[in-house]
Amino acid sequence: LDDPGENPPPPPPAGKDADPPAPHVFLARDTRPTGVELAAAASAGATAAGAAVTDLGLATTPQGHFAVYAAYRGWPRTEADYYDRLARGYATLCRFESTTSENDTNDPNETIFVDCANGVGAQKLARLLDAVQSANAPLSLSLRNASSTDTNGSLNKDVGADYVQKEQRVPKHGGFSELPTGSKCVSIDGDADRLVYFYDDATLKKTRLLDGDKIAALVATRVGELITECGDRLRSELTVGVVQTAYANGASTRYIEDTLGLTTTCTCTGVKHLHPAAEAFDVGVYFEANGHGTALFSDAALLKIKQCANDPNGSAKSKHAAASLLALAETINPAVGDALSGVLVVESILRAKKWGLHDWDSIYEDLPSKQIKVRVFDRSVIVTADAERRAVAPEGMQAAIDVAVASFGKDQNARAFARPSGTEDVVRVYAEGRTSDIADALALAVARVVHAHAGGWGTNRRQP
């Protein structure tokens, strides 16, 4: 358990035991044709090792995580239980915020166009929609790129959250480029553990992306508001923080710290680092820029919030806010980032704040950024510290990066770092600045530093 990603979840509440008891393995698979054979092989191996096995069949990655988490905590854990939990929390939030105002820009009946990346999330979203509608809550989805089988390599092919976030463009398939300007769109990935929103801005005449940074800021905004409305006592008793990586846009960090007054902390990339860092807070929010993330409420925090909701001496405002926090916690998958849960969380917050996508997008403006890959012979020569934001080896490289950053002046919001890839012999350079020209020039300057100090390939000092 030295790896932070291997820390177990909180133990079951007093009086409850894990159900089923350990050792127990839950198996799930996606729509790829190899899934059945791989699941059978994994089941045989787990059985041979002495574990009982539950085959969840076709399921999203977050549904598999939820089954394990719920079983460990002694909660109801079937697929139907998963849908019921999310739908119940969302419906409660919708009932709380059922009143509208003249300036309401978020139509509760507005269709959300969902790019399902030809993954398992399509059929699971359809079932979640059924559960939401059974709970009499408003939600209208148009599911696209919703192939039920991956027989021709269509899974995540030019579609999905990763494609939209990295390419900064709408999915290549599904007719998204033909939708009316301003349509509310969501892209999830093939196993439905990440999501990003996007829309066409009529004024700027360009596609606007609301990525994981914007989702984290939205969730943190709402959580902070509700805790404040609960009163000074609860606000003083709960720690609330947002966990980011070095890739989080600097504008998002400033918004969370300066506008919301919340704490941020930076970790190495990867959910195995972000999730335990979020658990250090009473309420911890984390999202990577690619849209993978969630919000975590500790057992102690939930108990205090419940006490506030049931306080006979509390004001109607504080009790309403506490009840909203409890419903929000129920709408969130506590085990891991979940695109299905994420859609409900985002929509409930937009509904509560009476915001459209443009309102949400306007909470801060991203600083322009640029990423470059530098090919090197051996990425292991680079050693980083400070959540991968500083290079401590090879000698002299960080000092040269600092010089490059400083050359743009203190008022240009220039920032850059270089970190080795975890999967290939490349070094990933990230740079941002007040303008696109600054970000591009800084990224190129740092790429040259990496090439010179870390054994880069070729002579053009960029990826060959």
What is the rounded average pLDDT of the residues 293-320?
96
Beta bridge partners of 53: 25
Residue 5 has pLDDT above 80, yes or no: no
d(CA 293, CA 119): 19
Non-local (6+) Cβ contacts of 276 within 8 A are: 4, 5, 7
- Report the SS3 class of residue 242: strand
Token readout for 397 is 């490289």
| 196 backbone dihedrals φ, ψ, rounded to 5° | -140, 150
What is the rounded average pLDDT of the residues 55-79?
94
Non-local (6+) Cβ contacts of 253 within 8 A are: 244, 264
d(CA 213, CA 249): 7
Task: Write the pLDDT tens digit of every residue in 420-432.
Answer: 998 888 999 999 9
Task: Write the pLDDT tens digit of every residue in 18-44.
Answer: 778 888 999 999 888 889 999 999 999
CB of 331 closer than 8 Å to CB of 323: no
What's residue 150's pLDDT?
64
Residue 2 has pLDDT above 50, yes or no: no
* In the chain, % of residues over pLDDT 90: 82
What's residue 108's pLDDT?
55
Residue 13 has pLDDT above 90, yes or no: no
- Report the SS3 class of residue 349: helix
Token readout for 350 is 């937009």
* 156 half-sphere exposure, CB direction, 13 A CA radius: 17
What's residue 336's pLDDT?
94
Provide the pLDDT confidence category of residue 459 given band limits of 50, 70 and 90: low
What's residue 4's pLDDT?
45
- Order across the sheet with 415-420: list the strands: 369-375, 426-432, 415-420
d(CA 50, CA 23): 8
What's residue 21's pLDDT?
82
What's residue 16's pLDDT?
64
Task: Write the pLDDT tens digit of every residue in 234-274.
Answer: 999 999 999 999 999 999 999 999 999 999 999 999 999 99
Residue 99 has pLDDT above 60, yes or no: no
- Report the SS3 class of residue 54: strand
What is the rounded average pLDDT of the residues 371-375?
94
Residue 58 has pLDDT above 90, yes or no: yes
What is the chain's percent helix, strand, coil content, to nearest 5? 40, 20, 40
Strands 426-432, 263-267: parallel, antiparallel or unpaired by DSSP? unpaired
CB of 274 closer than 8 Å to CB of 243: yes
pTM: 0.91
d(CA 244, CA 213): 8
Task: Write the pLDDT tens digit of every residue in 102-136.
Answer: 444 456 568 999 999 999 999 999 999 999 999 99
DSSP 8-state symbol, 428: E
What's residue 429's pLDDT?
97
Task: Write the pLDDT tens digit of every residue in 171-188.
Answer: 999 999 999 999 999 999
- Report the SS3 class of residue 446: helix
* In the chain, % of residues over pLDDT 70: 92
Provide the pLDDT confidence category of residue 463 given band limits of 50, 70 and 90: very low
Token readout for 327 is 């419903």
Query: Which is nearest to 382 in space by CA: 416, 415, 421, 432?
Result: 421
